[in-house]
Amino acid sequence: MLKPIFIFSLPRSGSTLLQRVLASDSQISSVAEPWVLLPFVYALKERGVYAEYSHHWANVALNDFIQELPNGRQDYLSAVRSAILELYQKAANNKDARYFLDKTPRYTLITDEIIDTFPEGKFIFLWRNPLAIIASIVETWGGGQWDLSMCKIDLYDGFVSLIDGFQAHSSVSLAVRYEDFLQSPEKEIARIAEYLGLEVDSDVLNNFSQTGFSGKLGDQTGIINYKKVDTIPLEKWKTVINNPLRKMWCKRYLNWVGEERLKIMGYDLNELLGELDSTGMTLINMFLDIVRIFNPKSKPELPGKH
């Protein structure tokens, strides 16, 4: 039976690139983004789901049912584990692979449950400069316009869950910074290979451009634009977060994230604030940004209210 690998990261953190590189090795199989564990785990949660059949009563009924199981919740998660591993096995494009890699960004919301459910799994926490994440969301999904509404759950709840999950399970997990991966890909691949107990050929860094996934989700922009691992993306955020309103929002977001959380990720708050202050300034998009940033009905409010 295949063992699972999970990449935990916020969206726009470079997870598709890492997934493609790892899946280029014959020992690791993967698909675009399964999302398959979310409904099973959220069935246990009182909130966070809307369903025509009434999630509230389904949750009440499921908890009643779980109480009848010999080992309660653990029996439920054990059954989920068996079902998911069987599905991974069937989905694997290489039947001789040792691992199946599941890369689903919203798994940040259920890191604890996933790690508890798959004790034999491998868990890679992928960090990226929050300023670069925000800029990439704006560029990729907002078309250059300031629109973070679709990722509010990721930037706040997902972010907190990701940090808490890593702290709780750091002894069985591996942390990788996106910036380190771009600057020293051979070194980072060697670290990952050692963690997985594999001999990963460094040729994956050249062959990953031929690896793709047929699903509708995943970073199609990165697949099209980046055919090799290089450092070009590292400075791109500075061309996006470049007017007074965007800088103000990002400064408040960094302060909300806080020094301790950033330190866990391998970043320094003062350094990031300094970089933010030193970026170029323009008035481009100012009017549209005013409308979007200060429209509470459709856009995420300024940080500091969470």
Condensed to tens digits (0 to 9), the pLDDT of residues 212-262 reads 787 777 665 555 566 688 888 899 999 999 989 999 999 999 999 999 999
**Amino acid identity of 49?**
V
What is the torsional sign of CA 144, 145, 151, 154? positive
Q: Please name the residues in contact with 68: beta carbons below 8 A apart, sequence gap of 6 or more.
A: none
Q: What is the mean pLDDT of residues 260-268?
A: 98
Global pTM?
Answer: 0.91
Q: What is the 3-state secondary structure (H, E, C) of the chain?
A: CCEEEEEECCCCCCHHHHHHHHHCCCCEEECCCCCCHHHHHHCCCCCCCCCCCCHHHHHHHHHHHHHCCCCCHHHHHHHHHHHHHHHHHHHCCCCCCCEEEEECHHHHHHHHHHHHHCCCCEEEEEECCHHHHHHHHHHHCCCCCCCCHHHHHHHHHHHHHHHHHHHHHHHHEEEEEHHHHHHCHHHHHHHHHHHHCCCCCCCHHHHHHHCCCCCCCCCHHHHHHCCCCCCHHHHHHHHCCCCHHHHHHHHHHHHHHCHHHHHHHCCCHHHHHHHHHHCCCCCCCHHHHHHHHCCCCCCCCCCCCC
Question: Which amino acid type is present at position 265?
Answer: M
Q: In angstroms, rounded to a whole number, what is the distance separating the alpha carbons of residues 79 and 156?
A: 31
Count of positions (residues) in the chain: 306
Please, which residues bridge with residue 100 across strands?
Answer: 4, 29
Lowest mean pLDDT among 34-43, 198-207, 243-252: 198-207
Give the integer Cα–Cα distance in Å for 19 and 6: 10
Q: With 50 as the cut, is the pLDDT of residue 178 above it?
A: yes
How many CB atoms within 10 Å of residue 164? 14
Q: How many C-beta atoms surround the C-beta of residue 71 within 10 A?
A: 10
Q: What is the pLDDT of residues 52-98, one digit of tens each?
A: 999 999 999 999 999 999 999 999 999 999 999 999 999 998 878 99
Q: Give residues with Cβ within 8 angstroms of 277, minimum separation 6.
A: 247
pLDDT at residue 284, as a whole number: 77
State the CATH architecture for 3-132+153-231: 3-Layer(aba) Sandwich (3.40)
Structure tokens at 38: 């979310």
Domain coordinates in residue numbering, the chain: 3-132+153-231
Q: Summarize pLDDT for 1-18 with one digit per residue, the tens.
A: 899 999 999 999 999 999
> What are the phi and psi torsion angles at 71 (to 5°)?
-115, 20
